[in-house]
Amino acid sequence: MVTQVSAEIATVYRLFDGNLHHARCGRRLIVQGWSTEELHCYCLTCVESVWLPLSVLNE
């Protein structure tokens, strides 16, 4: 479970405006919700869900 997450982190980056962007297409990710440990984002361009560990976002 955790090993899959590490691969997802590389597909997302955050700009100075604080919004998360999808590295593959450069588009802004839509936040769909979150669990106690992960944030669920969605890329409308790639039609793909992306899960991020909340610990990454607190950096």
3-state secondary structure of 39: strand
In terms of DSSP bridges, do strands 12-14 and 48-53 run parallel, antiparallel, or are they unpaired? unpaired
Asked if 21 interacts with Zn ion (CB under 5 A), we say no
Which residue number, 14 or 24, has a Cβ lying nearer to Zn ion? 24
Asked if 8 interacts with Zn ion (CB under 5 A), we say no
Residue in this structure with the two tokens 């982190």, named with its chain if needed: 9
Q: Which of 22, 38, 41, 50 binds Zn ion (CB under 5 A)?
A: 22
Q: Residue 54's closest CA among 20, 16, 15?
A: 20
Asked if 19 interacts with Zn ion (CB under 5 A), we say no
* Residues binding Zn ion (CB under 5 A): 22, 24-25, 43, 45-46
